[in-house]
């Protein structure tokens, strides 16, 4: 009965989501009634128009909680008529005609028919992995189906029992999940804080290996990790450094090879994960590191061992995307992107009367953000911009800490100066009309 009472309590908060229908021995029809405590009743619960079993009740209750605090997520189709300020296609590769033609002209089949350890490895897979190792400056490369699976594989399998892993508090969920599934002890250090990392390395257990996990560019803030200082620190404490380059690849470094390569740190970073679903504009990921790392992952990384391989068509796509990234067109797109970033930040600063200067996140990357505290307020801001023709995403708590909710604005090489100016103009208008105290 207490379970049903709990459901009723939630239905009161989100009446459109869960309804409780009662039929007792004295009634022949289902109706919304209070639960009596003096005779048996039959209970039927509905949510989203469906009658629920008890498992579904538990799931509907969890969704209702998200409704109540404004954090419920929805699948949505964004308008193609709006200007894109939210996708991770930083350089426009996903919409590139040249890249599409290169992929279409290459002969390939469909479907890999099995995992890499059974029928899913072709000579093309091995050739592309060798090319990727050379492109990123590492002895070996192993392709994964996605960046999430790559991080999950590395961090669940590589750190051993007795090892101690320190990770930046803002690393991606895939890193945290990998560590949660792994066998090593782990703890967070303050974001990009070298002194906090030093203190935690100094106090780490003497047994086992020390491992440090960071991103090169952080997806919610656009911050760049101080990798040179981190390499020095890891060398001092004999720690292995693992870097997630999801938002650095294609955008930074020579030919778009990432931040690690730009700084010449390939020999100092034990392992780097490069994701292709962002700046590369395609799908998949690769883990680069020493030869023994590849052999170890082939044997112990369960997401790799038990997943059907990417098909040959995807390997052709990966090869074509890297060739395009290294071309003159790729260099031109990177220059255009940096110009767009500078213009956006300049226009926001010019509107300081409307947009508080402190609300603009400190970022020199394509990932920009304007803090708009409160889930309701940031959702309203994003909705306003969509009605004005701009696709911008609201990042809410708990994805980011409470009171740091923000509009995540992604700039692209293909955004025009006029589009950026108009976006900032409409953003400033919203801030003037809806100051923080009103929502």
Residue numbers annotated as active site? 88, 172, 215, 219, 244, 247, 278
Of 278, 284, 265, 283, nearest in space to 366 by CA:
278
Please count the residues of the chain.
439
Beta bridge pairs of residue 393: 408
Of 171, 174, 243, 241, nearest in space to 209 by CA:
241
């Amino acid at each position: 009965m207490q379970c049903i009472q709990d459901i009723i309590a939630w239905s009161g908060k989100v009446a459109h989501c869960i309804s409780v229908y009662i039929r007792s021995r004295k009634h022949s029809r289902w109706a919304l009634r209070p639960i009596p405590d003096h005779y048996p009743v039959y209970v039927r619960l509905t949510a989203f128009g469906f009658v629920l079993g008890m498992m579904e009740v538990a799931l509907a209750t969890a969704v209702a909680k998200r409704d109540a605090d404004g954090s419920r997520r929805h699948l949505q189709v964004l308008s193609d008529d709006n200007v894109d300020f939210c996708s991770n296609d930083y350089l426009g590769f996903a919409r590139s005609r040249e890249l599409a033609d290169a992929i279409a002209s290459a002969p390939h089949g469909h479907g890999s028919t099995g995992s890499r350890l059974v029928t899913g490895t072709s000579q093309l897979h091995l050739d592309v992995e060798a090319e990727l190792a050379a492109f990123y400056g590492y002895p070996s490369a192993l392709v994964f189906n996605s960046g999430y699976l790559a991080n999950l594989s590395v961090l669940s399998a590589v750190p051993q029992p007795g090892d101690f892993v320190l990770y930046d508090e803002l690393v991606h969920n895939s890193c945290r999940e990998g560590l949660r599934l792994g066998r090593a002890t782990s703890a967070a250090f303050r974001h990009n804080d070298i002194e906090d990392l030093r203190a935690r390395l100094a106090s780490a257990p003497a047994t086992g290996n020390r491992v440090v996990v960071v991103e090169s560019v952080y997806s919610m803030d656009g911050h760049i990790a101080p990798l040179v200082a981190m390499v020095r620190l890891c060398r001092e404490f004999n720690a292995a450094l693992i870097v997630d380059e999801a938002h650095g690849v294609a955008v930074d470094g020579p030919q778009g090879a990432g931040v690690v390569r730009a700084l010449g740190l390939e020999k100092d970073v034990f392992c780097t994960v490069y994701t292709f679903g962002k700046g590369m504009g395609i799908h998949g990921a690769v883990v680069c590191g020493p030869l023994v790392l590849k052999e170890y992952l082939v044997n112990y990384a369960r997401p790799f061992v038990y997943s059907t391989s990417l098909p040959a068509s995807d390997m052709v796509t990966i090869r074509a995307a890297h060739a395009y990234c290294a071309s003159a067109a790729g260099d031109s797109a990177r220059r255009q992107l940096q110009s767009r970033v500078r213009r956006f930040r300049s226009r926001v600063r010019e509107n300081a009367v409307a947009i508080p200067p402190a609300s603009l996140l400190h970022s020199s990357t394509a990932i920009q953000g304007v803090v708009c505290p409160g889930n309701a307020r940031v959702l309203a801001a994003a909705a306003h911009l969509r009605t004005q023709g701009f696709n911008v995403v609201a990042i809410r708590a708990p994805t980011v800490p409470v009171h740091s909710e923000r509009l995540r604005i992604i700039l692209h090489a293909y955004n025009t100066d006029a589009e950026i100016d108009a976006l900032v103009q409409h953003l400033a208008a919203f801030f003037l009309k809806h100051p923080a105290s009103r929502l």
